[in-house]
Amino acid sequence: MCGISGIISEANRDDLPSLIRAVNNAMAHRGPDADGFFVEGTIALGHRRLSILDLSTSANQPFTDQSGRYVMVFNGEIYNFKEIREQIREYSFITTGDTEVVIAAYAKWGISFLDLLKGMFALAIWDRVEKTLFLARDRFGVKPLYYYKDGERLLFASEIRAILASGLVSRKVNREALTGYLKYQSFTAPDTIVKGILQLPAGTWMLYRNGQLEQKKYWEVSRTRSEIPEKEAPAIQAKVKDLLFHSVERRLVSDVPLGAFLSGGIDSSAVVAIMSQVDKEAVNAFTLSFEEKEYDETPWAELVAKKYNVRHTKLLLTPADFLEKLPEALNAMDTPSGDGLNTYVVSQAIKKSGITVALSGIGGDELFAGYPLFGQFASLKRWAGVFDHTLALRRMGAAFLPHGDQRSVRIRELLRMPTADISGAYPLFRQIQNLRSLEELKAPGYNDEGTLEKILNEAQPDIDRFETYSQVSIADYLGYTQSVLLKDTDQMSMASSLEIREPFFDHDLVEYVLNVPDHFKAPTSPTQPKRLLVESLGDLLPPEIVQRRKQGFVMPFDLWMKNELKDFCEQRIYRLAARGYFSEEILVDFWKRYLSGKSKIRWMDIWIFIVLEYWLEKNEME
């Protein structure tokens, strides 16, 4: 786990050493163990290292292959690097980790080597002979990669702030992308908050040659449809269990201490349970606890920890503690997001305990139908035959619905959908700010089809080949998962130099579960969520964990924003209102209506504006 950066400049080359150092230093938190540089002709590469595998200096980067032709900077972990290494016996390896295996694989197979990699990564490889730069990102977008290109230069880095640190990019807000942020609390690739800076999409490679960029998808979650050989429940459950065990086992490869997040929910409990079966010495479990009983999940976490005799650490968080850490957490955001603060707090505490790598249960809900929207979309699809042929009638009915809270607005917009497709329904289910709110705020580009909507519309023919639950999973992988969940996990954990690994994002596991028919996933009762996961693991999960009501990680933001955080929030609302991005009068009134408690405005509806203004101030945006 590291930070990578690079600059190709056809203009002034004398300043490359100072430029790449400035870019690299802006990501020091991503790799406190070592930094390294390669500067030659038109190219400069930088690397910040967080040592996980092969702790020797021989594995420092930038890394040059044995021929001297290829130079690479790499961020991430390749969990099957030992198997790949066995296929490259002609190469004389000098290290024992995954970095050298990656560059050797590229030297042997070229771009097709990406198909072999099982893991999370963002990488850049410079060909000193052909003078080409190859960039690639893992299938799910676990590891970030941003780039900027003008007529003379190409810059790339693991973080937006690193590219800004070069001083070569104007600090102008990408106003057209603000609507997407307000809708979904983050920016969907390739958009970012900064005009001109782009994200390389997940599962994509890019080649720079003679000043031109070529970009291509090498893996798409919506194109993984296939028939699974197992047809009966016991065989399917056995296969899911086997894939889960393999996924966790792969992620235990490390030369530094390991830990795990343990919330007491099904997903994190499953990860800890499997870890304890694979390697009893590997499990150090950490739980965030609260004095307020309604937020505290410690009793369930303790139950799991006791069952598997793991080393369990409870991290008490008081409101005062959190509020004190809030500026730190907001400063950790490389890109604005309405979520992720909890990840920062837990990551910081785990790192201080001496752990460098932690496994997380995120992704279980998205894969195993753990959210209400799975059932909601399934209900919609059951009526698709009627729904798809009553558009005129539905639109008439929608016109008579009252303008009220987010729920009533969502129902009205659902009724106006042309057909019961996931490309239309998913954005409505996931919206923070709805279209009506954006119209009132005069948000830039609010009438335009957003990036997420375009991605889903293009993928719809492929998504249609899957059953209903898998359609929701795929939409979530293309939407919330990439843009919020994984992005927040990376930026908030790496702020504390902690590597997080996510077993539920193993592509072998995901591809299989997506092709399991719905009737093996559908709950048999309201008290049995994530049925396929629970039945596959059997008695590994304590019944108390399975049967408890889903809680999720909740903090009393509504209370704080109207009390302890009121001045902090109000200052930023007024400053953002004065910038001219939105209607100043409407945004201020929005805040006042929230404070009054008379309007059904949620704390999240306000918080995304506050985070946005904080980020704009911190990064001195024009």
Given 2, 162, 326, 612, which residue is catalytic?
2
Tell me the residue ranges of DSSP E strands in 79-210.
119-127, 132-137, 146-149, 153-157, 197-199, 204-209
Q: d(Cα 600, Cα 540) in Å, to the nearest integer?
A: 42
Neighbours of 382 (CB within 10 A): 12
Q: d(Cα 502, Cα 303) in Å, to the nearest integer?
A: 22
Q: d(Cα 456, Cα 478) in Å, to the nearest integer?
A: 8
- HSE-CB for 79 with a 13 A CA cutoff: 19
Q: How far is CA 218 from CA 117, 139, 208, in A?
A: 12, 8, 17
Q: Which helix (H) or strand (E) holds 535?
A: helix 531-537
Task: Clarify whether 2 is annotated catalytic.
Answer: yes
Q: d(Cα 274, Cα 565) in Å, to the nearest integer?
A: 40
Contacts of 169 (CB under 8 A, 6+ apart): 148, 155, 163, 194, 196, 197
Q: Check: CB of residue 256 under 8 Å from CB of residue 231.
A: no
Nearest residue to 292 (alpha-carbon basis) of 618, 555, 558, 562: 555
Q: How far is CA 439 from CA 409, 446, 518, 545, in A?
A: 13, 7, 38, 43
**End-to-end Cα separation, the chain, in angstroms:** 32
Nearest residue to 330 (alpha-carbon basis) of 158, 193, 491: 491
Neighbours of 603 (CB within 10 A): 17
Q: Tell me if residue 152 falls in helix, strand or coil.
A: coil
Q: d(Cα 572, Cα 610) in Å, to the nearest integer?
A: 6
Q: Mapped to the 3 state alphabet, what secondary structure does 343-354 carry? A: HHHHHHHHHHCC
Residues serving a catalytic function are: 2
